[in-house]
Structure 1
Amino acid sequence: MGKLWGGRFSKSTDKLVEDFHSSISFDKRLYYFDITGSIAHARMLGDTGIIPKQDADLIIKGLKEIITEIENGQVEFDVSAEDIHMNVEVLLTKKIGQVGKKLHTGRSRNDQVALDAKMYLKTEIEILAEMFKELLNTVLDLSSGHLDTVMPGYTHLQRAQPVTFAHHLMAYFQMFSRDLDRLRDCGKRVNILPLGAGALAGTTFPINREQVSEELGFSSITLNSMDSVSDRDYVIEFISCASMAMMHLSRFCEEIIFWSSQEVRFIELDDAYSTGSSIMPQKKNPDVAELIRGKTGRVYGNLMTMLTVMKGIPLAYNKDMQEDKESLFDSIDTLKKCLIVFTPMIATMKINRANMLNAAKGGFTNATDLADYLVKKGLPFRDAHEVSGKLVAYCISISSDLDSIPLEKYKEFSDLIEDDIYEAISVYTCVEKRNVIGGPAPDQVRYSILKGKEYLANN
């Protein structure tokens, strides 16, 4: 088949170059957006009189038939036609004859591919936004059932202070809500029509970019033709958003792996989201969480790929930019696959409240509250900190805990300590007294959940 751009050439493209050059193996997923964009372009060409109206109508009819044929599996794409754009044009010309060759009037593949990518990404951002909303609702539901489930909070992976499982979960609600916000914000920059930029310098034809923008649902139109075809900021920005979302999923998965270990046993994953061992019959492995943790690096790699591809490209379009598709597609696919399994995985896990509570009571997580107790009795904080530290050291020496020390022994360390100390350092008191906005007290977490529901209602 002769190339649609082959007029200047006297030799055929080498088969190895043809295979290397072609992108149809991966950009064929853009077919719907390519054809939908071409329909809008053809309609505009007819409405402006750039081509006869009857030709535009015939082109539109042919393009609609090609969509149906592709969706019915009746089309086999041709590697020699290079990409989805040329494949569609070849199919159209075969279907309706010479009129099909008028479709490309007033545009280039450079602005066409940018249009297709943006239309595709707009759609995928909305799909991902709905997936994040489902995840956020799942986190809210889980949190609502564990307002009084006390567990240890950690720093340096060492038990630090008591919190509730709901409070811990709502930390991830904040992370995932920021991911949703970033996706929405990225969508604003995706939603700008590039078609009409041509190869880099626009066109001499009196095209109506506003008409195409309105038909395709874009919010505005690009204002520089060179930037329109050489911009891949929106791809990099999206993959950056995806990388941060994967990082949050990975952090949560790391906690799930830790919580489900036999050493901790805070949770048990549902059998449907666990796997076994081919040699050790007793094993129940958190493979889903581990895979998500691993796939995070894959998305990071896509981000670095795009930053590296774009860093040395002069204006305007260069073939290097064809590399954007596989990085973009893989990032979208990976994030979606992870969300699909992560949300039901956490929705079905069993929570071991007793183990969480016992862990919160160990490790001297109430030592800070002992110091605060002494401060409230009039001791300067640094002195109170020292007394509390000495009491912890004493407990360690006798294999005890702060709750078990007799009052007489407490008084040897400070005569400010009274019998109200035991209530003051109860893990429940430790949680309930931290009743500041953003704190772990049940009332504050309940308020956080309420604000979370309001957030989702508005998104």
Structure 2
Amino acid sequence: MLYRKWGTDKDFVASYTSSNESDREIIEEVKTVMKAHVIELYLSGYIKKDTAKKILQAINSFREYTGNYEDIHEAMEDYIIKLVGEEGGWVGLGRSRNDHVSTALRLKMRDYLVNVFEVLYSLRISILERAEKTTEVIIPVYTHFQPAQPTSLAHYLLYVDEELDSVWDQLFTSLRLVNRSPLGSGAIVGTNVKLNRKREAEMLGFEGLVYNTISATASRLDLISTISSLTLLMLIFSRIAEDLILLSSSFVGIIKLPDSHVSTSSLMPQKRNAVTMEILRTKAGECFGHLSSLVTIYKALPSGYNLDLQELNRHYWECVKHVIPSIYVIKDVLEKMEVTGRFDDKSITATDVAEDLALTGIPYRKAYMEVANKIRAGTFKSEISFKSSIEKKAVIGSPNPELIKTEIELKKENIELKWKNFREYKSQFIDKISELKVIEDDILQ
């Protein structure tokens, strides 16, 4: 082992404290960070171009690694020194694993968030397109899981989009917070080497710096905040899954799930079990568990780097790996599910009857009790159709088909504006990263 001063590489402590398993998630990001560091050493005049070239070539050839290393950073540095020789040792100048891993984690999370935004946009567009076609597809809406009032499938879908819109904003804030560079901060108080931290940040496409070197090396707040936002997204999906499980059951039977989302029983051939929705609920639960682990580990740490921080890493990736598949599952089921139209309980128009009475001049509470007494006595009758019920709704955000059409247009404009802002923001760091490649190619030539 390259850094170990006490004991031997055969001590059980070496394997017990190793982060090699979770580090495999960030191999490419660690290589990119090391390249930026080497290039900065060259641009700042600390190493010669030929040395930089040899080290960059070694970094590019680094792949999977084996051996008793504490982490990927030690493994990579040892690999460089063995391949390049003594000159390879220059990579240790002005560098700590603390600022390097913090930078690599942010690069990984940034790339992941980009992918989330791209599939989340596709989901939201799909939702709005189906809402346009279902403004008059009637379903009952529930409170306390008791039938409440008539609404439309479009109204339900727009509720889902509204929830997603809130998380979109939180995720975009997370993206900007994550997109700040810790590189050049050393172990905790920086370094005597005059590294240009702003230039390093530019090369890696970061928007700016995590300025304070304690925060840069030892804070994981932005990453935990991102997992929190992603967990909220999974929370939304879990509620949708629960809705669809209940509404598609034979007890209710309002929704029919696509055949590709159900499975039968090994014994009971009539069953249509909502298996994808059940699994989605568990994935959401796993994210809640990983978020709980993150905050529980993080809450008691003293400021500055502690090895506990490396134990957070696997919880980031264990959660994030569930999110994009879940978006695809939700998109597919919302696109393909059918409304059976089997609901005919006219009592859910009772509120319409009471409001219509009140609008003739009767105090609403008196009208309410009049209708309630008829329901209790079993004499309630309503001439109001479900279609008429939703058409009567007069407030913004209600299922009135005309108001729904306006809402859909507003939501389309909203998501297109946010998508445009995201793409412009993404292009900024993509362009900057391409500049790093240009400098690297110049050195390698």
**Aligned-pair CA distance for 1:64:** 2.3
**Aligned-pair CA distance for 1:13:** 3.9
Counterpart in 2 of 1:112?
100
- Among 384, 389, 407, the alignment partner of 2:367 is 384
Instruction: Please say if 1:22 is aligned against 2:5.
Output: no
Counterpart in 1 of 2:356?
373
- Among 392, 397, 402, the alignment partner of 1:438 is 397
Q: Distance in 1 between matches of 2:255 and 2:141?
A: 15
**Aligned-pair CA distance for 1:54:** 2.0
Larger Rg belongs to? 1
Q: Distance in 2 between matches of 1:216 and 1:252?
A: 38
Counterpart in 2 of 1:414?
none
Length, aligned pairs only: 418
**Aligned-pair CA distance for 1:381:** 1.1
Q: Is the 8 A contact 2:9 2:68 kept in 1?
A: no
- Among 143, 158, 163, the alignment partner of 1:175 is 163
* Identity between Structure 1 and Structure 2 (%): 29
Give ranges in structure 1 of 5+ residues lacking alignment.
404-421
- Among 229, 236, 239, the alignment partner of 1:248 is 236
Report 1 or 2 for greater relative contact order, CA contacts < 8 Å, sequence distance ≥ 6. Answer: 2
Alignment of 1:25-424 (within 5 A): 25-66=21-62, 70=63, 75=64, 77-352=65-340, 354-355=341-342, 359=343, 361-362=344-345, 364-394=347-377, 396=378, 401-403=380-382, 422=383
SS at match of 2:397: coil
Which residue identity does 1:384 align to in structure 2? A
Q: Distance in 1 between matches of 2:263 and 2:84?
A: 55
Q: Are the structure 2 counterparts of residues 95 and 351 from structure 1 closer, same or farther at C-alpha, using a change threshold of 3 Å?
A: farther
SS at match of 2:92: coil
Q: Is the 8 A contact 1:143 1:167 kept in 2?
A: yes
Q: TM-score, normalised by structure 1?
A: 0.88
Q: Distance in 2 between matches of 1:79 and 1:285?
A: 47
**Aligned-pair CA distance for 1:124:** 0.3
Q: Is the 8 A contact 1:58 1:96 kept in 2?
A: yes
Q: TM-score, normalised by structure 2?
A: 0.91
Deviations 1:314-336 (A, max 9, x none): 11000111111111001100212
Q: Distance in 1 between matches of 2:258 and 2:386?
A: 29
Q: Are the structure 2 counterparts of residues 211 and 438 from structure 1 closer, same or farther at C-alpha, using a change threshold of 3 Å?
A: same
Counterpart in 2 of 1:455?
414
Q: Distance in 2 between matches of 1:79 and 1:270?
A: 49
**Aligned-pair CA distance for 1:79:** 4.3
SS at match of 1:402: coil
Q: Distance in 1 between matches of 2:264 and 2:228?
A: 34
CA root-mean-square deviation: 1.5
Deviations 1:251-270 (A, max 9, x none): 00001101211122222222
**Aligned-pair CA distance for 1:49:** 0.9
Q: Distance in 1 between matches of 2:333 and 2:67?
A: 41
**Aligned-pair CA distance for 1:93:** 2.2
SS at match of 1:379: coil
